[in-house]
Structure 1
Amino acid sequence: MTTQTATEPEAHVTALAPPGRFHHLLIAEWIKLWSLRSTYGVLGVGLLAVVGINVNSALSHADRLAQQPELPPAPPPGRAELPQMLFDPLASAFVDPARQLLMVIAGSVGALAVFGEYTSGLIRTTFAAVPARRTVMTAKATVMAAVMLVLGTVAAGASFGVTQAILQEHHGMSIGDPGALRAVAASVLLAPLCALVGMALGALVRHAAGTVVAVVGVLLLLPTLFMGETYRWVKEIGNAMPLTAWRALVQNPERNYSVDKYPVSVTEGWIVFGAWSLVAAAVAVAVVHKRDV
């Protein structure tokens, strides 16, 4: 009789919590993400701020260029072209402050999707309903990456389209110009990359303030520690950071006057993007599977 009493609750729980199908988990994670009002506010305001910063940069450049004489299309014979005199319209579409803001927003929202469930205790309910933790985190990462991919597409597309329209009279670019499509694609993919990094840090730290500090430190501050070119190994570590790779990918090939001793190539930039995304997703899944809730 005692054995029957002990086993009945376990069987009952198993019957109530069968392993969820993956598409059910995707729907559940989608509902979790958008049930928070902060999601709408952070992503909406962040999107407007990112596009606004880029547009303001383009307006400032357009006003400055309108007040100075037009540069000759080619340097006079026997004289070298001065790089500092050439205006790069692509740089106005993707300025550093706007992209850094988007990185912090994407990373913080990704982290919140993980540590928010731990701080509220919802993670226990989730894992009680679906004991397959790896599957749950994979679904969470899939939904987060998809949402941030849309956010990055809107931010990068609007920034490029509006800024180049403003700079139309000052050699504004089209999406078919050399380097334009690559720059837009890199800016689009930077958002889901940062969100996955935020999820990994959220799974490791599991504390709101600590995770946000870690997101800023890893995505923005850490690259600045490896900017010197005295030692090649230091610069190579810096080249492996997402922010450095993004800057290399958005460079205009017709206005690239980089003097770096160890520059990041386009191929290396894409490799960095892919490696960080895969490693971050793997860390989030592995940590949640092994650590107690």
Structure 2
Amino acid sequence: MSATATVPAARRGSPHVSGDVRVTFPRLVRSEWIKLWTVRSTWWVLPITVLAMAGIAWMVAYFGTQEATDGAEVVLGASTAAVVVSGLQLAQLAICVLAVLTITGEYTTGMIRSTLTAAPTRTPALLAKALVVVVVAWVTGLVATLASWAVTYPVLGEQLRVDLDDAVNQRILVGAPLYLAAIALLAYGIGALLRHSAGALATVLGLLLVVESVFALVPWTFFQKVSPYLPMSAGSQLVQNGGPDATLSPWEGFGVLVAWGVVALAAALVLAKRRDA
């Protein structure tokens, strides 16, 4: 007769067992928040984003006011808020790097297995990580926009300073952080889809910088009609002065950019359930 050791189940309220060990979405978000700030890349990418955006804005404002003719000053004064966010396209590159590495880094190190073990349905964990990335990108964009406004304020002078009561200026300044958040969502979605840092970064940067430039330059009707609906072309309408010839309104363009990110993330979520970690 063999003896079998029996371990009694831990009773609720035992001092050695947590009363509630359920994995909830808020706890996943908190976990992803902690993980994001324990990665070195976060601590150098975010300051670079702010410095790049503010630095470009200062240079555009300084050289624009120093070398502009009287006619050019009128144009500059009509688009002062656009000058403040003129470093946005450089800042978005740093945000793309952060968003991609946030997800692909876990696949590279194998930490994703622990994450998905805690949340076996996978979708909540990936959504929690996406939420953290988007919020951090938005806050970084907000800080960068404020910094850009601060460094350009004394340079532009009384005549060219941003009129904060103007609806177009308000939309541009509010739109800059939203644009970076939407770009982060797109980059994260592509990173989750490809799961490889180099491939994901090449895809994101190629889409934003190469594909859009090619589509804008090729004089064929197909490319001219599709070009306004590409991510950066559409989303950048939110931070531009706009015009009667624009295919999309500022908020329509932003909606198209968000749609790109949602589609990329949705595809990644579907494939995450079908592929091994």
Q: TM-score range by the shorter chain?
A: 0.7 to 0.9
Query: Where does the alignment leave 5 or more consecutive residues of structure 1 unmatched?
Result: 5-14, 72-82
Q: CA shift at 1:275, angstroms? A: 1.3
Residue correspondences, number = 260
Q: Which residue of 1 aligns with 2:81?
A: 90
CA contact (8 A) 1:197 1:280 kept: yes
Confirm or deny: 8 A CA contact 1:164 1:174 kept in the other structure: no
Is 1:274 the counterpart of 2:258? The answer is yes
The residue type equivalent to 2:247 in the other structure is P
What letter is aligned with 1:282? A
Structure 1 residues 148 and 203, CA, compared in 2 at 3 Å: closer, same or farther? same
Mean CA deviation greater in 154-163 or 127-136: 154-163
| 2:207 maps to which of 207, 218, 223 | 218
- How far did residue 19 of structure 1 move? 5.2
Q: Residues 35 and 219 of structure 1: is their aligned pair in 2 closer, same or farther, counting only changes over 3 Å? A: same
2:228 and 2:234 map into 1 onto residues whose CA distance is: 6
Q: Which whole-Å CA distance do the structure 2 matches of 1:212 and 1:204 have between them? A: 12
List aligned pairs for 1:1-293, cutoff 5 A.
20-65=23-68, 68=69, 70=70, 86-87=75-76, 88-95=79-86, 98-228=87-217, 230-252=219-241, 256=243, 263-293=247-277
Change (3 A) 1:166 1:273: same
Distance 1:215 1:229 in 2: 21
Opposite residue 25 of structure 2, the aligned amino acid is: F
Aligned identity (percent) is 33
Partner of 1:77: none
Given the two structures, how large is their TM-score scaled by the length of structure 2? 0.83
- The alpha carbon displacement at 1:43 in A equals 1.0
Give the CA deviation at 1:21: 0.8
Q: Deviations over 1:131-187 (max 9, x none)?
A: 120010111111111111101111123223432442133432222213111111221
Aligned counterparts of 1:248 and 1:136: Cα–Cα separation in 2: 32
Q: Equivalents in 2 of 1:86, 1:229: separation in Å?
A: 29
The structural deviation recorded for 1:267 is: 4.1
Give the CA deviation at 1:263: 3.2
Distance in 2, Cα, partners of 1:103 & 1:130: 31
Query: Residues 49 and 92 of structure 2 are in contact (CA less than 8 Å); yes or no, is this contact kept in structure 1?
Result: no
- Report the secondary structure of 2:234's partner residue: helix
Quote the residue 2:8 is aligned against: none
Distance in 1 (alpha carbons) for counterparts of 2:166 and 2:218: 32
C-alpha displacement of 1:116 = 0.6
CA–CA distance in structure 2, aligned partners of residues 124 and 207 of structure 1: 15
**Shift, 1:292, TM fit:** 1.1
**Could you say what secondary structure the match of 2:170 adopts?**
helix
CA–CA distance in structure 1, aligned partners of residues 222 and 159 of structure 2:
40
* Structure 2 unaligned regions, length at least 5: 5-16
- Decide which moves more: 45-54 or 29-38: 45-54
More deviation, 204-213/25-34: 204-213
Match of 1:12 in 2: none
RMSD over equivalenced CA pairs, Å: 2.8
How far has the Cα of 1:120 moved from its partner? 0.4
Deviation by residue 1:5-50 (Cα, 9 ceiling, x = unmatched): xxxxxxxxxx99x751111101110111000122111111221122
